[in-house]
Structure 1
Amino acid sequence: MSLRVLAGLLLGLVLGPLAGAQETPAAADLPPNPFPNRVPAVELDGGIEWLNASGPITLKDLRGKVVLLDFWTFCCINCMHVLPDLKFLEEKYPNELVVIGVHSAKFDNEKETGNIRKAILRYEIAHPVVNDADMVIWRKFAVRAWPTLVLIDPEGFYCGFISGEGNRDLLDQVVARVIAYHRAKGTLDDTAVRFDLERQKQPATPLRFPGKILADAASDRLFISDSNHNRIVVTTLAGQLQAVIGTGAIGAKDGGYDVAEFDHPQGLALIGDSLYVADTENHLIRVVDLAAKQVATLAGTGEQGDRFPRSHRLREVGLNSPWDLLALDGVLYVAMAGPHQIWSHKLGSETIQPYAGSGREDILNGPLNEAALAQPSGMVTDGRFLYVCDSEGSAIRKITTKPDNDLKQPIGSVTTLVGASDLPGGRSLFEFGDIDGEGAAARLQHPLGIALDKGSLYVADSYNHKIKRISIATRDASTFLGTGEAGDAVDPPQFAEPAGLAIANGKLYVADTNNHRVCVVDLGTRKMQVLAIDGLTPPQSGSSTGPEGTTTAAIDVPPQQIAPGAALEFAVDLALPDGYKLNPQASVTYRVTAPKGQTVIAADAVNARDEAETDGTTARFRLPLASPSGKVALQVSVWYTYCRDGQSGLCKLGAATWNVPVEIAATATASAIRLATPPAK
């Protein structure tokens, strides 16, 4: 693909000649500028708060970096699908590229900074995010859809945008060419950067954002998708720990409980001793043999697929964010959130196919293949119909099932039990709120979980932080539990974006996702308690928190003679650029390595990373001496973080390493070794 075509695709439109926008002819040894018609970018002000950063970030802070602005909202499945692409680019270009998330909310609940913080933690985002609650930045960049990515070059010029998902390869090529051009021009700054990530401030918890839950009264078992721990937890209904399925590491390995891996699993379905798992971010359906304690893969390739109009073999089709599962009449139904469809698999067969939903994102009623769904995320059945949480449409849908249906050409219909539907121009997707009422008059806000008991549906009205109860017969929806405010109180009960529900023995089990807990509610008295799971601990393995620093080539220092004493003192002068100061929220750290078996320095003082003292310009640390004389070859490394004025949200990582030959001698007069870092960029 040509550079011009790449640029045109990224722009989404071809920028015509603008006054002052044309570049002067490039030097003969420079590659061509990928975006010769670039224009100055507008500033990033207008957000109400910054997250994953120690403060606001400006275009001046970003000068020298390739910047991708990710306009997203945390409910959006397409936005979720872009995150792995951004992570890929961030890891490939760690020192050249900075991604900034611009969170421009769809739902009211998504405008709250605290809820965005939870989403950042849940999605394990490792770049800064600005809360654009009033959509100021959205309007400044003329964005019209979620997700949209905007490219800004190292000189602060707007290059263009691209909307939607599935553009990893294109973005990779474009970013690589922008980097190559600005490196050749001398306008690229490849100094490592550091952000104050929200996850660094969080304590470990036994459960981490549990998504879905399944209660089986017959076997006295509770199955919990411990989603951000990438595992399934099995307890009794009273909370006695029985098993943990999966290591906690992100992956897709099959095998025993102690080697199997998942990637943010969600929905569960139980048939006998077979537990089916929607392995959401692996885009797989897994099956656990509870008797043999083995995990296998039932469907999917491990790659994200698209919507398909026909049947496919189980292991040859890419699934797309399977979010919930339900078994009925020998059929496994799959809430496929990505393509806005319900899929079906006849258990024992070799195929899987769409069952309901055209693939269009909307709330439209009609025949199975013509109706439109919007990110279906939860399912339950009364034996005749599927009742589905259509989360992006804030509606509860009712879908026909028949035991003898031809799954390749099923007959039936989709209607709407609660919430708006069939409004022109996709307006149903924006008819949300917190209104008790009947049928089309009721309003929910991004419901995710659903359960059934005695003719009533219980709905996890996630963004309203409530449990709603809906009469199937009358379509009346009313608040059952919850204050409407996120919280963790037990009396009166509060929730924080609950996502999964299950019922057994008159008890409602709630996956209270953002509170990292499971709650148990007596359906008769509405009294609630938190389920205690004794013995459950966080997994030892899991997703990485990222590098602690950066490395540089070692600088050779002349031999240093030091007088005997209690300790060897070091003073390291930190050369910071004009206008920059040390980040007060980050420590200056050091490590001194020494050959094995040396006897000059105390053994417990070397080969470990520790914090130095600093006065803002000099770092100081000391190593206890173990001998009054002797020689040793030390390697000294120092890491530090510096920001514009010491408080910018974008901080750079500085590092220096020295090879320091040291001799402790009675004739020496010096008591300390003084080093200086090379000038930082």
Structure 2
Amino acid sequence: MNKRARVRAPELVGEGGWLNTGGERLSLGELRGKVVVLDFWTFCCINCLHVIDELRELEERHHDTTVVIGVHSPKFVHEAEHGAVVDAVERYGVAHPVLDDPRLETWKQYAVRAWPTLVVIDPEGYVVAQHAGEGHVHAMEKLITELEAEHEAKGTLRRGESPWEPPEPTATDLRFPGKVLALPEGGYLVSDTTRHQLVQLAADGETAVRRIGSGERGLVDGAPEQARFSEPQGLLLLPDDEGGAGSVVLVADTVNHALRRLDLATGEVTTVAGTGAQWMQGGPTDGPAREIALSSPWDLAWFDGRVWIAMAGVHQLWTYDPREGTVRVAAGTTNEGLVDGPAAEAWFAQPSGLAAAPDGERLWVADSETSALRCIERAPEGGHAVRTVVGTGLFDFGHRDGAAEQALLQHPLGVAALPDGSVVVCDTYNHALRRYDPATDEIGTAATDLREPSGAVPAPEGGGEVVVVESARHRLTRLRLPERAAQVEAAAHRTRREATEVAPGALTLDVVFQAPPGQKLDTRYGPSTRLVVSATPPGLLADGAGAGTDLRREVRLAGEAGTEGVLHVSAMAASCDEEGEYPACHVHQQDWGVPVRLAAGAPARLPLVLAGLDEESAQG
């Protein structure tokens, strides 16, 4: 990392204005004397949510010298709505100022190319480091400590509290609930995500019967009033030994990276899977459940004799065997994207909703970042295979009904399987409930004017009704499904980013990685870096696709001036501490989807900063 590069930090601008500042607008001039960390994020992105959590302790330790500012830079159309950003800041407990930048103005000024990206600005107003992806907190801690000492000595460090002002709390029975479960004795169990609790509701879906969890963020087992969760999501009622509904609920405790067990009779909570730490590349993926780390489990389903886990944090599906107490990977490679085929070779992108079909023949998956409805089926040759029903990739989304092959969703977070074999999709960012019928291979709109629906279950009484979690309205809503789904006026969108102009023909992809201070590349077990390159459409890459160990690659782009597409680049670098008897190891990983346009005379080099500071990129 070249922390001496003298690149003046551009000013912070955003049409949406500021949040968490009590209405005040901030400027870098006013923050001179502070270390400023810019966190470029968007609320759909699980990696961005990981970074928010990673920064909590760092913010606390350096509260009087460092100001973290979230720069919200939307991917989806819905994320450009100011009200949605306000909701997200509260939903995820963001405890620092946030600039709402719906037009990506500050994003462009800092030449950011990926969510999340962290930029460090020193007390004199110069950019000194840039990190893409997650897992950089150790490097950030060391750098900030060095900057504090350097500028304290120079007299350019100004101590004092952050300008963060939390919003006034709002009184509601639920606050950004995530998922819902119909209970065998009647009523519902809801994950009250922002309040870190589970809430049992009466059959009316409104009256709170009891709350499970103290309401404080944490990982604590015990009685209902003592247990602690951290942004719980998915809920699953385990079958009993005879295959009927039991009295044990499993909870996807998302930010704790754990599965918790709830005894419905006593309210006792115990941890059954996960270590409380986030799984990182290179960690074990098969073994005793309490010894294997998980990564943001988001939803749960019982399928093929096991618990399936939507492991949103690593773009995979895992399974948990409650009898043996083991977990293992079931589908996905950790690469982010939309690739079908054998389960072990498939790519997912933040799977967030699961539902097993009543006949047990398939598992439905809401794959949120690809805006896709997908399913897991038994393969004829054995094992499982992945098939996409609706969705085309990471950057195409919208609201289009009709034949599944041309239909569009926008960041769905939930699915529910119906008795007739059809499936309803919580089309979260379209504020709609969609219904897919496998018999006709068509999808239609069952309901609109919902507010960020995130989970649903068939009503226990039947009658063609479903109970939907309206997360951003903080309630459950009961809906009667129409006999024939509506066909709404079509809308199609692409990710809100301008294409980067690059030269046709030969192009140098240059992933910039400099080991953080006090670390070195970890070459003990072979190459410490990995690079995977592909494109949409695939024909954009005439040469250079595939995997390799060099972070710089010469590729050849096909097409004439004006040709557009997306370069998909996935990079990984492993580093370890230079000192200590047992040096800690760190894995740095990021996936980029870079929209490009071929243009004569454009640059023939595309720099992507994984960690360090590429001066050309920093200056835009």
- TM-score clears 0.5: yes
2:455 to 500, 505, 508: 500
Q: How does 1:65-104 map to 2 (within 5 A)?
A: 65-104=34-73
Letter in 2 for 1:495: L
User: Is the counterpart of residue 415 in structure 1 residue 387 in structure 2?
Assistant: yes
In the aligned structure 1, how far is the partner of 2:333 from the partner of 2:196?
Answer: 31
Residues 199-256 of structure 1, C-alpha deviations (whole Å, 9 max, x = no match): 32x422111110000114x422311111111111112332354332112111221111
1:511 to 469, 473, 477: 469
In the aligned structure 2, how far is the partner of 1:242 from the partner of 1:65?
Answer: 48
In the aligned structure 2, how far is the partner of 1:122 from the partner of 1:130?
Answer: 16
Letter in 1 for 2:58: L
1:266 to 233, 246, 250: 233
Residues 590-617 of structure 1, C-alpha deviations (whole Å, 9 max, x = no match): xxxxxxxxxxxxxxxxxxxxxxxxxxxx
Q: Report SS of the residue matched to 2:113.
A: coil
Asked if the contact 1:500–1:511 (Cα under 8 Å) also holds between the matched residues in 2, the reply is yes
Letter in 1 for 2:467: Y
User: Is the counterpart of residue 467 in structure 1 residue 433 in structure 2?
Assistant: yes
Letter in 2 for 1:170: A
Which residue of the partner structure matches residue 6 of structure 2? 38
Which residue of the partner structure matches residue 209 of structure 2? 242
1:137 to 106, 128, 131: 106
Which residue of the partner structure matches residue 224 of structure 1? 190
2:347 to 372, 376, 379: 372
1:395 to 352, 372, 375: 372
Letter in 2 for 1:242: V
2:410 to 415, 438, 445: 445
Residues 633-658 of structure 1, C-alpha deviations (whole Å, 9 max, x = no match): xxxxxxxxxxxxxxxxxxxxxxxxxx
**1:358 Cα deviation after fit:** 1.1
Residues 626-681 of structure 1, C-alpha deviations (whole Å, 9 max, x = no match): xxxxxxxxxxxxxxxxxxxxxxxxxxxxxxxxxxxxxxxxxxxxxxxxxxxxxxxx
Letter in 2 for 1:463: Y
In the aligned structure 1, how far is the partner of 2:317 from the partner of 2:440?
Answer: 25
**1:317 Cα deviation after fit:** 0.8
Asked if the contact 1:344–1:353 (Cα under 8 Å) also holds between the matched residues in 2, the reply is yes
The structure, 1 or 2, with the larger RCO (C-alpha pairs under 8 Å, 6+ apart) is 2
TM-score (norm 1): 0.67
Asked if the contact 1:433–1:443 (Cα under 8 Å) also holds between the matched residues in 2, the reply is yes
Which residue of the partner structure matches residue 653 of structure 1? none
User: Is the counterpart of residue 283 in structure 1 residue 252 in structure 2?
Assistant: no
Listed as ranges, the gaps of 5+ residues in structure 1 are 1-7, 9-13, 15-34, 421-427, 483-493, 527-681
User: Is the counterpart of residue 361 in structure 1 residue 316 in structure 2?
Assistant: no
**1:128 Cα deviation after fit:** 1.3
Which residue of the partner structure matches residue 563 of structure 2? none
Asked if the contact 2:5–2:127 (Cα under 8 Å) also holds between the matched residues in 1, the reply is no
1:58 to 17, 20, 27: 27
1:337 to 293, 312, 327: 312
In the aligned structure 2, how far is the partner of 1:120 from the partner of 1:224?
Answer: 21
**1:313 Cα deviation after fit:** 1.1
Which residue of the partner structure matches residue 294 of structure 2? 319
Which residue of the partner structure matches residue 301 of structure 1? 275
User: Is the counterpart of residue 435 in structure 1 residue 400 in structure 2?
Assistant: yes
Larger radius of gyration: 1
Asked if the contact 2:343–2:385 (Cα under 8 Å) also holds between the matched residues in 1, the reply is yes
TM-score (norm 2): 0.73
Residues 490-520 of structure 1, C-alpha deviations (whole Å, 9 max, x = no match): xxxx222111111122331111101111111
Letter in 2 for 1:480: A
Letter in 2 for 1:317: I
- RMSD of Structure 2 on Structure 1 (CA): 2.0
User: CA 1:386 to 1:525, structure 2 compared with 1: closer, same or farther past 3 Å?
Assistant: closer
Asked if the contact 2:198–2:213 (Cα under 8 Å) also holds between the matched residues in 1, the reply is yes
Asked if the contact 1:69–1:102 (Cα under 8 Å) also holds between the matched residues in 2, the reply is yes
Aligned length: 469
Letter in 2 for 1:223: L
Asked if the contact 2:285–2:292 (Cα under 8 Å) also holds between the matched residues in 1, the reply is no
Residues 376-395 of structure 1, C-alpha deviations (whole Å, 9 max, x = no match): 00011111111000000000
Which residue of the partner structure matches residue 126 of structure 2? 157
Letter in 2 for 1:411: G
**1:371 Cα deviation after fit:** 0.6
In the aligned structure 1, how far is the partner of 2:421 from the partner of 2:339?
Answer: 25
Letter in 2 for 1:510: V
Which residue of the partner structure matches residue 560 of structure 2? none
User: Is the counterpart of residue 480 in structure 1 residue 443 in structure 2?
Assistant: no
Residues 295-342 of structure 1, C-alpha deviations (whole Å, 9 max, x = no match): 111100001113567412111011100000111343111000001001
User: Is the counterpart of residue 167 in structure 1 residue 136 in structure 2?
Assistant: yes
Q: Report SS of the residue matched to 2:237.
A: strand
In the aligned structure 2, how far is the partner of 1:187 from the partner of 1:232?
Answer: 48
Which residue of the partner structure matches residue 182 of structure 2? 215
In the aligned structure 2, how far is the partner of 1:466 from the partner of 1:515?
Answer: 13
Q: Report SS of the residue matched to 1:433.
A: strand
Residues 179-212 of structure 1, C-alpha deviations (whole Å, 9 max, x = no match): 1100110001102233333x32x42211111000
Q: How does 1:582-621 map to 2 (within 5 A)?
A: none
Q: Percent identity?
A: 43
User: CA 1:231 to 1:45, structure 2 compared with 1: closer, same or farther past 3 Å?
Assistant: closer
User: CA 1:207 to 1:235, structure 2 compared with 1: closer, same or farther past 3 Å?
Assistant: same
Asked if the contact 1:47–1:137 (Cα under 8 Å) also holds between the matched residues in 2, the reply is no
Asked if the contact 1:274–1:290 (Cα under 8 Å) also holds between the matched residues in 2, the reply is yes
Asked if the contact 1:418–1:475 (Cα under 8 Å) also holds between the matched residues in 2, the reply is no
1:122 to 56, 78, 91: 91
Letter in 1 for 2:294: L
In the aligned structure 2, how far is the partner of 1:378 from the partner of 1:70?
Answer: 27
Asked if the contact 1:330–1:347 (Cα under 8 Å) also holds between the matched residues in 2, the reply is no
Residues 533-568 of structure 1, C-alpha deviations (whole Å, 9 max, x = no match): xxxxxxxxxxxxxxxxxxxxxxxxxxxxxxxxxxxx
Residues 337-367 of structure 1, C-alpha deviations (whole Å, 9 max, x = no match): 0010010122201310010111110011111
Q: Report SS of the residue matched to 2:320.
A: strand
Letter in 2 for 1:42: P
Letter in 2 for 1:208: R
Q: Report SS of the residue matched to 2:453.
A: coil
In the aligned structure 2, how far is the partner of 1:114 from the partner of 1:281?
Answer: 24
**1:524 Cα deviation after fit:** 5.3
